[in-house]
Homo-oligomer: A and B are copies of this chain.
Amino acid sequence: MAPVIVDAAVYHDGTRTEVDCADQDYAALRARARECGGFVWVGLHEPAPEELTAVAEAFDLHPLAVEDAVKAHQRPKLERYEHGLFLVLKTLWYVDAEDAVETGEVSLFIGPDFVVTVRHGHGLDLGPARSFLESSEQVLTHGPSSVVYAVCDRVVDGYVSVVGELQVDVDEVEESVLSPARTNDSVRIYTLKREIAEVRRAVQPLREPLHRFSEGAVSGIDAEAGPFFRDVLDHLSRTADLVDNLDGLLSTAFDVHVARIQLQQNDDMRKISAGAALVVVPTLIAGVYGMNFEHMPELGWALGYPFALLVMAAASGGLWWLFRRSGWW
């Protein structure tokens, strides 16, 4: 099983500082950070309520926010509490094996000298965000805001790659719908629309907080870091546009699919009818020569039988040629 405390470290002056205390000794970590004018980043993964309580005590986290971070299944949101900010993000990743989008959640408690990140779900770990920060001294000097940036960037990159995968799926559906083959795409389209709605629910509510970060309008987030957030917002907006576009394309593709079913039904009906004609007309001819009139010259002909068969074949053949020409076959 993955550990609950993924990592806990003190950063100052743009670098990670070695501290001589255990990961879970949050109070000591915080004291150390305050001492040197830096900040702590504690990263947790699906902590039990009591584990989060210990963290909450060390960093004075608000009980309502802590409750939200335990329960997961929140909407993306930014809230201000007395001692800091509380930001919730939805994480998304694509599981190739199932062609499905899965969702998780990251909650961030942001204070002047600490960030606590609580992650739910197994995909999209925050390791790359931490690595990126530890290798970008200049970004890291923005303090806790830099962690917020790195996490948002990581999460939004997740959106971008999920939308990339969905794009591929939509292209496949489109190809299938537009191909002349007889396909049943409605289930696929339904599932994709459902996933797109899920992506939209993650993406949409994040625009407002990111916009405010990028304008430096949130106290507690470094206004100097605005351009970084603007960059993330830009990716987010592009993602939102693409998602809207995919949804529109799927709707149109669905309509085309339905039109196609109807067209195929009409084609099938005409083909079937043409086929039926090829059998029904000779049947009529056979019926004629099955009549019991005493005076039917053909019946006595030596070649009457082959002649009748020929007439039948000619009728069928003629009809076939006619249907062929008029495009019914």
Chain A residues close to B by CB (< 8 Å): 62, 64, 68, 74-75, 77, 79, 81, 174, 177-178, 182, 184, 186-187, 189-190, 193-194, 197, 201, 227, 230-231, 234, 237-238, 241, 245, 248-249, 252-266, 268-270, 272-273, 275-277, 279-284, 286-296, 298-305, 308-309, 312, 327
For A292, give its contact among B79, B275, B299 (CB under 8 Å): B299
Q: Are A305 and B291 in contact (CB under 8 A)?
A: yes
Report the minimal beta-carbon distance from A207 to chain B, rounded to whole angstroms. 13
Residues of B within 8 A of A276 (CB): 273, 276-277, 280
Q: Are B249 and A197 in contact (CB under 8 A)?
A: yes
From A201, A249, A273, A291, residue with most partner B Cβ within 10 Å:
A291
A contact face: mostly helix, strand, loop, or mixed: helix
Q: A68-B234, A296-B305 are in contact. List 10 more A-B contacts (CB 8 A).
A: A74-B238, A178-B190, A201-B245, A262-B262, A272-B273, A273-B275, A288-B312, A289-B292, A291-B308, A295-B301
Could you tell me the distance between the alpha carbons of A201 and B240 in the complex, rounded to whole angstroms?
A: 12
Chain B: which residue is nearest A265 at the CB level?
B266
> If A193-B252, A293-B298 touch, does A234 touch B75 (CB 8 Å cutoff)?
yes
Residues of B within 8 A of A81 (CB): 227
Report the minimal beta-carbon distance from A173 to chain B, rounded to whole angstroms. 12
Could you tell me the distance between the alpha carbons of A256 and B258 in the complex, rounded to whole angstroms?
A: 9
Copies of this chain present in the complex amount to 5
Could you tell me the distance between the alpha carbons of A77 and B230 in the complex, rounded to whole angstroms?
A: 12
Q: Are B261 and A262 in contact (CB under 8 A)?
A: yes
Report the minimal beta-carbon distance from A325 to chain B, rounded to whole angstroms. 14
Residues of B within 8 A of A75 (CB): 234, 237-238, 241
Could you tell me the distance between the alpha carbons of A256 and B255 in the complex, rounded to whole angstroms?
A: 10
Residues of B within 8 A of A231 (CB): 64
Residues of B within 8 A of A227 (CB): 62, 64, 81
Could you tell me the distance between the alpha carbons of A202 and B322 in the complex, rounded to whole angstroms?
A: 50
Chain B: which residue is nearest A248 at the CB level?
B197
5 A-B pairs (CB sep. < 8 Å): A182-B327, A255-B258, A279-B280, A290-B291, A291-B305
Residues of B within 8 A of A286 (CB): 284, 287-288, 290-291
